Structure 1
């Protein structure tokens, strides 16, 4: 199974072992409230686990998908409290298309960015 299909499985199941196996050991996470890229499987896993906790509620839906040879852009919508969140997950895969080497998240509008940022910091603190 290719990395994108494996990501969809992880997003649905929230299986930590499957997420760990999907992430390249040198994976990079780039988030909308972070000043620098976060490097390594463990830290990328921590951010993605927190993001799934914060954003992955009953309102979460992927609404668009664009693929390339070694990557994909997934547009999503969700709601956090009373705030509508629109964003994209930009995934880059290794040369075998088996692992994620980079995971970049972008969010809008500004109100959503602020709400997600505060919720992410709380989730990462737990």
Structure 2
């Protein structure tokens, strides 16, 4: 099990953030421009852990340095499926973190919920 998965499943955001390189590039399913740096990702992870209900990883696919963590969650009455794509760099820290989610109604629900949390 990838340590990032273990941290998220334990709802330990500090541990998850410690696994991100200080210059990590984070690509969100709801914004076009990537977020750059652990500092920028911090509030996003803290908000999403509160927004996602019934979050659970269902599969983990690994081909170092790449890892795909498939998940399911719910936001209100909207069920969604997604995947966290991680690229691990030298030193074992995540340098690239991309989230993809389906279906479109799930993405809309995520965008609305995150906007409310981060506004």
> Normalising to structure 1: TM-score of the pair?
0.85
Per-residue displacement from partner, 1:6-49 (whole Å, max 9, x unpaired)?
21232033334323321101011100111111101111122222
Q: Equivalent residue of 1:50, what SS?
A: helix
Among 54, 58, 63, the alignment partner of 2:58 is: 63
* 1:13 pairs with 2:10: yes
Among 30, 45, 51, the alignment partner of 1:48 is: 45
Q: Equivalent residue of 1:60, what SS?
A: strand
Report what 1:124 is aligned to: 118
Q: Equivalent residue of 2:67, what SS?
A: strand
Among 24, 28, 34, the alignment partner of 1:27 is: 24
Q: Equivalent residue of 2:2, what SS?
A: helix
Aligned length, in residue pairs = 119
Report what 1:95 is aligned to: 90
- Paired with 2:25 and 2:97, the residues of 1 have a C-alpha distance of 6
| Per-residue deviation, 1:64 | 1.7
RMSD: 1.5
> Normalising to structure 2: TM-score of the pair?
0.90
Structure 1 segments (4+ residues) deviating >4 Å = none
- Paired with 1:63 and 1:14, the residues of 2 have a C-alpha distance of 16
Unaligned runs of 5+ in 1: none
Report what 1:78 is aligned to: 73
